[in-house]
Structure 1
Amino acid sequence: MTSSNPSPALPDVAYDRAAAARSLDWVGMRRVALPLCVADEGGQPQRVPAWADIGVDLASAETRGIHMSRLYLLLQDRLPVEPLTASSLRALLRDCIDSQSGIATTARLGLRWEQLLKRRALASGNAGWKSYPVEVDATLSPSGAEIVLAFGVEYSSTCPASAALSRRANADAFEADFADDQAPSRVDVHAWLGSGRGMAATPHAQRSRADVRVTLRNDVDALPLLELVDAIEAALGTPVQTAVKREDEQAFARANAENLMFCEDAARRVAAVVSTSPRVARFDVTVSHFESLHAHDAVARVTGVVG
């Protein structure tokens, strides 16, 4: 037999008076796991595993706490099904603020995931998948919305100084081997260049990474990840590869010889791309060359305002 009396309302202590009156800058959750709906290379939605940091300010100094479950449920209801765009982020942040019933004025959402992009081989016609770390940091406050897109691009960097020293060592080896021959034949020179003696030294190269953060313009809706990654990899000239046959490896070696880079050179190349993008308002670029010569890394950073 069921009771005719309604269930009593459960207590909600979040609205209790705080022991010490003070507003808080940020209250929320970190590393909330969820599937995220993002666009693939063809612009079609796909789900990827992601982690979210979500929080609001506690502007009401005397209110004890926020309702975290409301933020959590908003993330779970929206992000797995709604394609991630600037407008969907702004709407979600507005609803996060509204869910707190007047005690919050600002919301911030951080998202992290790995984006798989298919990359073509340099010469063989093969292809493979490469993973790019991506972050989005979105804030909505009384002064407006700000959306920051961050990602990493890995590439190879061959040292220009080491290349110059290697060329000199090769020239010296040639001079030594042909000292008694005033006019070596084309056949002899070709055979020498193809032998072990034809490479007396090799320049050092290393895997490197460009970490890029761009603040998007207010009129941008689609996140320009693929567009920026493609442009940066083209500017650097030596992105790390996926599928590699011998002809691809040779093409990669040629690309490195054509794109000798100090970290300063790489930073300028990346900055040249993002500073001319019509989607970007501000940028912050850090390139790191994980040295094979030294035990330390070579790093360069450049920031700027676009327009």
Structure 2
Amino acid sequence: MRDVQNEPDLRNIPLDRVGVSDLSYPIEVRDRDHKVQRTVARIAMAVSLPRDYRGTHMSRFVEVLESMGGQVTVHRMDSLVALLQERLAAQSAEVEFRFPYFIQRHAPQSGAASLTRYDVVFRASRQEDRFDLVTTVRAPVLTLCPCSREISEAGAHNQRAHVTLSVRMASIVWIEELADLAERCASCPVYSLLKREDEKHVTEQAYHNPRFVEDVAREAALALDGDPRIPWYRVTVKSHESIHNHDAFASLERDRRSPEVAP
């Protein structure tokens, strides 16, 4: 049978990335409290393609994924991209797993338990023998405007916001830790289930803890700077404004690695 994709290409143009994307796949993720959590990821996988190859072997991407048994941990990401390089004879390889992750939260007064969703991304790459992994956690929070509280006779505008933390790790940092950090930096956490006494508490906590997006970003930076396990991070805070027809955002990136370590 003729293997068309394996035929030589004469256009002399290498491709940076070829692969598969938007692949839905069930995975198991390490959970700090329950050991493992089952979820469904949207996966992208790619490798570099030399100039003399017409196409890559698309089926091998899924074969490599199948060989991992659906178990996704920080430590297995290196093995996964290294195996992609080997199976597809590529100089570089990368994978991206996007998945919802759920953490049980308890309402602040009633103690009512419910699950809160956090959006997580593992993005791993390998260039020759150099491995890189960025873990991202997007957490929903509440912000209350300090300016609005200061100038208003009653109340202040508040809104749901999202804190997105991307980190490179020197040692393990749990998803739960990043979610907790994001919530501590905001005016107040948000909850899926609140009773009346909880609504009162959340409303008043936010009112007594007003934060601009700039405040939230800086508080997150202070916390991340104090963690020796995190040599690089990016913080983005987006507030879905309740009295404006636009969002407000703030972001920053810090790299404390030596130049020879940075990608």
Report what 2:64 is aligned to: 74
- Residue 56 (str. 1) matches residue 9 (str. 2): no
Q: Which amino acid aligns with 1:227?
A: E
Alignment of 1:248-263 (within 5 A): 248-263=198-213
Report what 1:281 is aligned to: 231
Q: Which amino acid aligns with 2:60?
A: R
Q: Which amino acid aligns with 2:24?
A: A
| Over 3 Å off, 4+ runs | none
Q: Report if aligned partners of 2:187, 2:211 keep a CA contact under 8 Å in 1.
A: no
- Distance in structure 2 (CA, Å) of the matches to 1:76 and 1:128: 33
Structure 1: stretches of 5+ with no match in the other structure: 1-9, 170-200
Aligned-pair Cα RMSD in Å? 1.7
Q: Report if aligned partners of 1:41, 1:117 keep a CA contact under 8 Å in 2.
A: no
Among 116, 122, 135, which residue is 1:130 paired with?
116
Among 7, 11, 21, which residue is 2:12 paired with?
21
Report what 1:202 is aligned to: 155
- Distance in structure 1 (CA, Å) of the matches to 2:124 and 2:221: 22
Q: Report if aligned partners of 1:155, 1:207 keep a CA contact under 8 Å in 2.
A: yes
Q: Report if aligned partners of 1:157, 1:207 keep a CA contact under 8 Å in 2.
A: yes
Report what 1:88 is aligned to: 76
Instruction: Report which of the two structures shows the higher radius of gyration computed on alpha carbons.
Output: 1
Alignment of 1:147-226 (within 5 A): 147-166=133-152, 169=153, 201-217=154-170, 220=171, 222=172, 224-226=174-176
Secondary structure of 2:62's aligned partner: helix
**1:110-165, Cα deviation, whole Å (9 max, x unpaired):** 11000011011101121100111111110011251110011211111111111112
Q: Report if aligned partners of 1:159, 1:262 keep a CA contact under 8 Å in 2.
A: yes
Q: Which amino acid aligns with 1:91?
A: S
Q: Report if aligned partners of 2:156, 2:207 keep a CA contact under 8 Å in 1.
A: no
Report what 1:302 is aligned to: 252
Deviation at residue 79 of structure 1 after TM alignment: 4.8
Structure 2: stretches of 5+ with no match in the other structure: 258-263
Q: Which amino acid aligns with 2:66?
A: Q
Distance 1:260 1:241, change over 3 A: same
Deviation at residue 105 of structure 1 after TM alignment: 0.9
Q: Report if aligned partners of 1:85, 1:223 keep a CA contact under 8 Å in 2.
A: no
Distance 1:223 1:138, change over 3 A: farther
> TM-score, normalization: structure 2?
0.92
Distance 1:70 1:223, change over 3 A: farther
Report what 1:45 is aligned to: 36
Deviation at residue 216 of structure 1 after TM alignment: 2.3
Percent identity over the alignment?
A: 29
Q: Report if aligned partners of 2:187, 2:210 keep a CA contact under 8 Å in 1.
A: no
- Distance in structure 1 (CA, Å) of the matches to 2:226 and 2:3: 52
